[in-house]
């Protein structure tokens, strides 16, 4: 345990990006946190991907560098199996097992052996048999079907897990890790769930986010203490989450805004139980807040709430979980620094008394970027994306730049969304 402290925003090395993204105050982190279910490999193949929000580094994949407050099609990608988003870059896993990346590449996070940004997808080199992808701030991760993990990009804190502090513009193998079934990227640390239910982490550990009872960084995976039968993991700015046996949630690391959910603001270098949550199937984490998807399709949030990222209609932080208003039938969640995404099996908020959810008769499935609109049933199309929180770059996808403390509907052109990812002021769906 430690004393309350403010999260390190690491803005000094991002001055150029901050000037380019003047609509976002203190935007310094956005993990590629995403959750499609407890195993991180749910959902089928969808025909194409869409993106929205900031695009100063080409992270929307449209090739023109222009941001968008509504979804636009990512150029040239079909057969999407998985998506992930970092601070200024994006990743897609395709049906053929190839991984493609676009956007910021200052640290080699696109994995194509180069350091120049790309406004359209480029293939990550040297990867086969990929099961899922994830992204941290300026680094990327791939979980292979053989249970090993590859990483590339920024490595200042050892977040590539290869035993060095050297950046890599090509994938390297995470040292000594096998039997992995899920992986998540935070600011400058990563977390993996193994098939035996244990949790391992590597990289930055200034706030105890590796969960090994220490505060020193590790360039190789170390075991998170006290977890034996986890079902899902997530990595945030400087904190981490796991779904434990029985659907309870454990959290560790930075707790300045209450993101550990245990009713305090005290950091913890070992897992502590989030209060009053059971039956949880998936988790996601932002810079200073956390999300949980319960088995009944409801979503719960705790921690920082300055931009409405808890979704409870307020901007008041909470050290314990509060229910995200107006959502039901949720099948996937994602979080970044200050905004969140959720997928519902249908409209998902009928009768909730919250027109901003999109259940007020406004159409979903609007044609975007030349893509045909899906057929809509009485509750909208087969799956609907909702977003809430920070919207300074249009990352909520509702054609505005106004923050929202309750979920709003995103008019995607994808008939059945199965994958979502939240990045640094941008969002992805496929």
Each residue's pLDDT expressed in tens, for the chain with a length of 430 residues = 333 333 333 333 333 333 233 222 222 233 444 443 333 444 567 788 999 999 999 999 999 999 999 999 999 999 999 999 999 999 999 999 999 999 999 999 999 999 999 999 999 999 999 999 999 999 999 999 999 999 999 999 999 999 999 999 999 999 999 999 999 999 999 999 999 999 999 999 999 999 999 999 999 999 999 999 999 999 999 999 999 988 999 999 999 999 999 999 999 999 999 999 999 999 999 999 999 999 999 999 999 999 999 999 999 999 999 999 999 999 999 999 999 999 998 654 443 333 334 433 333 333 333 333 333 333 344 579 999 999 999 999 999 999 999 999 999 998 789 899 999 899 999 9
Contact 173, 148 (CB under 8 A): yes
pLDDT value for 261: 98
- State whether the Cα torsion 382-383-386-391 is positive or negative: negative
Residue 246 has φ and ψ, to the nearest 5°, of 85, 0
Model pLDDT, residue 90: 98
Task: From residue 226, give the alpha-carbon distance in Å to each of 68, 271, 285, 290.
Answer: 44, 7, 20, 20
Instruction: Mention every residue, 6+ apart, whose C-beta is less than 8 A from residue 197.
Output: 227, 228, 229, 230, 231
Q: Is 191 left (phi over 0), alpha (psi -120 to 50) or beta?
A: beta
Q: What Cα–Cα distance (Å) separates residue 240 from each residue in 31, 251, 284, 298, 348?
A: 12, 6, 9, 21, 28
Rounded CA-CA distance 187/190 in Å is 8
3-class secondary structure, 74: coil
Q: Radius of gyration over alpha carbons of the chain, in Å?
A: 19
DSSP annotation of 355 reads G
List, in order, residues 6 or more apart from 378 with CB less than 8 Å away: none
> What local confidence, expressed as pLDDT, does residue 347 receive?
53
The Cα 192–Cα 70 span in angstroms is 33
Those residues whose C-beta lies under 8 Å from the C-beta of residue 336, and which sit 6 or more positions away, are 29, 30, 31, 33, 85, 286, 287, 395, 422, 423, 424, 425
Residue 368 in 3-state DSSP? strand
């Amino acid at each position: 345990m430690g004393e309350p402290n403010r999260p390190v925003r690491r803005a000094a090395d991002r001055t150029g990006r901050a000037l380019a993204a003047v609509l976002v105050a203190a935007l310094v982190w956005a993990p590629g946190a995403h959750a499609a279910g407890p195993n991180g490999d749910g959902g089928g193949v969808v025909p194409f991907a869409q993106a929205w929000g900031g695009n100063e580094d080409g992270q929307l994949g449209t090739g023109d560098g222009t941001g968008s407050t509504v979804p636009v099609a990512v150029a040239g990608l079909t057969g999407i199996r998985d998506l992930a988003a970092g601070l200024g870059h994006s990743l897609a896993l395709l049906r053929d097992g190839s991984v493609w990346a676009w956007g910021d590449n200052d640290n080699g996070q696109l994995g194509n052996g180069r350091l120049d940004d790309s406004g359209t997808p480029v293939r990550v080199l040297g990867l086969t048999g990929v099961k899922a992808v994830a992204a941290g701030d300026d680094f990327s991760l791939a979980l292979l079907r053989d249970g090993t993990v590859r990483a590339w990009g920024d490595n200042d804190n050892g977040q590539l897990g290869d035993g060095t502090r050297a950046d890599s513009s090509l994938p390297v193998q995470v040292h000594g890790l096998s039997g992995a079934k899920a992986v998540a990227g935070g600011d400058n640390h990563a977390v993996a769930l193994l098939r035996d239910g244990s949790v391992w982490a590597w990289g930055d550990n200034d706030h105890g986010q590796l969960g090994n009872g220490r505060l020193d960084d590790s360039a190789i995976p170390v075991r998170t203490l006290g977890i034996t039968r986890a079902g899902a993991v997530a990595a945030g700015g400087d904190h981490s989450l796991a779904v434990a046996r029985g659907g309870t949630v454990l959290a560790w690391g930075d707790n300045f805004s209450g993101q550990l959910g245990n009713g305090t603001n005290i950091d913890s270098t070992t897992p502590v139980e989030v209060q009053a949550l059971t039956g949880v199937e998936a988790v996601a984490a932002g810079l200073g807040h956390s999300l949980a998807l319960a088995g009944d399709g409801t979503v719960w949030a705790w921690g920082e709430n300055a931009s409405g990222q808890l979704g409870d209609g307020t901007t008041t932080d909470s050290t314990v979980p509060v229910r995200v208003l107006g959502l039901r039938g949720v099948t996937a969640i994602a979080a970044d620094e200050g905004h969140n995404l959720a997928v519902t099996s249908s409209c998902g908020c009928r009768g909730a008394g919250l027109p901003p959810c999109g259940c007020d008769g406004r159409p979903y499935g609007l044609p975007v970027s030349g893509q045909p609109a899906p057929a809509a049933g009485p509750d909208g199309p087969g799956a609907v994306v909702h977003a809430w929180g920070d919207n300074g770059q249009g990352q909520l996808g509702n054609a505005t730049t106004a923050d929202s403390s309750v979920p709003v509907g995103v008019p995607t052109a994808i008939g059945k969304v199965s994958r979502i990812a939240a990045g640094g002021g941008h969002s992805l769906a496929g």
